[in-house]
Structure 1
Amino acid sequence: MSGGVGDNGGDIHNNPTAHGDYSIAANDIKKVIIKWVMHPSARWLPLLLACAVVVIAWTGWPDGPARQYALWGTLAGLSLVTAAARVLNRRPRDARVVGTLSLVSVLATVGGWLAFQSVRTHGEIDVTGQVRTQGTQPLDDAARRSLTLLLDAPALEKPRNALRLTLAIADHNPAAPTCLPDTTATVSLLTSGAAAQPTTIRPGGTVDFTLGARVSTVRIDVRLHTARGCRMDVQTTGAVLHDN
């Protein structure tokens, strides 16, 4: 009796159709994929997808330095090149080559799109031209006057949590002896009317402020420290919003 059970169990376990059905189904799927990939009309799909993503990205191009789009540009170029190679291969003989070109193009297109969206969400935004200045110049150390640099809602439309600021400080009278070696500036972020995060920088120096989330206005106080009798002009040469 035990032998009979063993025979039945062996028949079920070793039944050639147990794995044969899966093998047949896999072969059928493979044939369908190969037939679709090798079809003349299918060769255009990766190229159309890559071109559509490039056009959409171009129309929604945000601000910021070009270097932050290097990954997107590399992947977009790869997707276009492999898709074009697939189109130019009019009489493919090897389905593996065709499938590889199509797969690489689609994956590069998707990866490039994700990289582009990451830059749109977290990339740097140049707002140098949108910085407003309140106060009169030139500045000197004796008068204890200061400038206020302002960024309003339009510049802060795309939320970022930090601001990188670069200031140029120059002699008001270029013909007089230079005061630059003796000149610094204390730059402070104003929050609720009080100065916070004070940082001392030299002419041409850069300071990074943490803004927090969803700020509507940024106010920065600039106080000059220089030698007696020196009068200086202060100008914003760089203002970049970014995420820490």
Structure 2
Amino acid sequence: MTGPGATGTENSHVDGRGSHFVAANAIRNVIIKWVMHPSARWAPLLAACTGLVIAGSTWPDGPASQYALWGTLAGLSVASAAARVLHGKPQQGTADSRHVRVVGILSLFSVLATVGAWLAFQHVVTHGEVDVTGQVHTRGVQPLDDTGHRTLSLLLDAPALREPRNALRLTLAIDDHDPAGPTCLPDTSATVSLLTSGVAAQTRTVRPGDTVDFTLGARARSVRIDLLLHTAHGCRMDVRATGAVLHDM
């Protein structure tokens, strides 16, 4: 026989399961009503397009490759939102379960893709690469040689560093001053030294066309890189920055 206590426990379990079922069913009905409401039909597409407009109006610098994730998610959000709009009501005029499921999946997918695209874009804005090649200034007399004119300074001022990044990737071109004469490139190298307030001195040796990375710290207000040329006797060389990219390491 089952005692009164067991019956009460069983009833409480049934009541608990029943209340959970009622709550879940109520939430499901609310979601269905929102998804199927006429005003919600355009909401995902509006959110996706708004994200595109904001991104376009605040577009930062940097290579296109760093926007690949944002572009993929933004495209998926717009495509799924457009599919949601085009997925009209069933012909019989009732929102059957299959139709509701498809519309719900499209709406949810579009919203999640829009949020993901926005987060990806904000990551690029905060940590993406910033091309400052055109803002590198040189101080010194060129061409450089192996005797009296061996040094040159490369400078980045505060306007070029307005986007806070903690590293600089620098690519240097070292070319023969007289392209018609014998080349001195095989015998040429340079020592580059970062001299920036608040950052430990860093020295690198580069060959023509090499790329080097310097750590700038949390917030550099200006960057100065001194260059010392090493070349053969009688050679005259021109130095210029062909790439300068701020980035986070």
Q: TM-score, normalised by structure 1?
A: 0.93
- Specify the alignment match of 2:10 in structure 1: 13
Matched, 1:100 2:100: no
4+ residue runs over 6 A deviation: none
Deviation at residue 41 of structure 1 after TM alignment: 2.0
| Aligned CA distance change for structure 1 residues 22 and 213 (closer, same or farther; 3 Å) | same
Matched, 1:71 2:69: yes
CA contact 2:131–2:244 (8 Å) conserved in 1:
yes
Identity score, percent: 70
Q: In the alignment, residue 241 of structure 1 is paired with which amino acid?
A: L
- Consecutive unaligned residues of structure 1, counting only runs of 5 or more, are none
Deviation at residue 232 of structure 1 after TM alignment: 0.4
| Aligned CA distance change for structure 1 residues 193 and 140 (closer, same or farther; 3 Å) | farther
- Specify the alignment match of 2:48 in structure 1: 50
Distance 2:182 2:174 in 1: 15
Identify the match of residue 113 of structure 1 among 112, 118, 128. 118
Distance 1:194 1:128 in 2: 21
Aligned-partner SS, 2:246: strand
Q: In the alignment, residue 154 of structure 2 is paired with which amino acid?
A: L
- Specify the alignment match of 1:202 in structure 2: 207
CA contact 2:175–2:239 (8 Å) conserved in 1:
yes
Identify the match of residue 187 of structure 1 among 184, 189, 192. 192
Deviation at residue 64 of structure 1 after TM alignment: 0.4
Show CA shifts across 1:23-58 (max 9, x none).
Answer: 122212211211221222211000000111111111
CA RMSD for the aligned pairs?
A: 1.9
Deviation at residue 22 of structure 1 after TM alignment: 2.2
CA contact 1:144–1:223 (8 Å) conserved in 2:
no
- Consecutive unaligned residues of structure 2, counting only runs of 5 or more, are 91-95
CA contact 2:184–2:235 (8 Å) conserved in 1:
yes
- Specify the alignment match of 1:235 in structure 2: 240
Matched, 1:164 2:161: no
Structure 1 stretch displaced more, 73-82 or 190-199: 190-199
| Aligned CA distance change for structure 1 residues 44 and 67 (closer, same or farther; 3 Å) | same
- Specify the alignment match of 2:93 in structure 1: none
Deviation at residue 11 of structure 1 after TM alignment: 2.0
Distance 1:36 1:197 in 2: 60
CA contact 2:70–2:118 (8 Å) conserved in 1:
yes
Distance 2:204 2:233 in 1: 22
Q: How many residue pairs end up in the alignment? A: 241
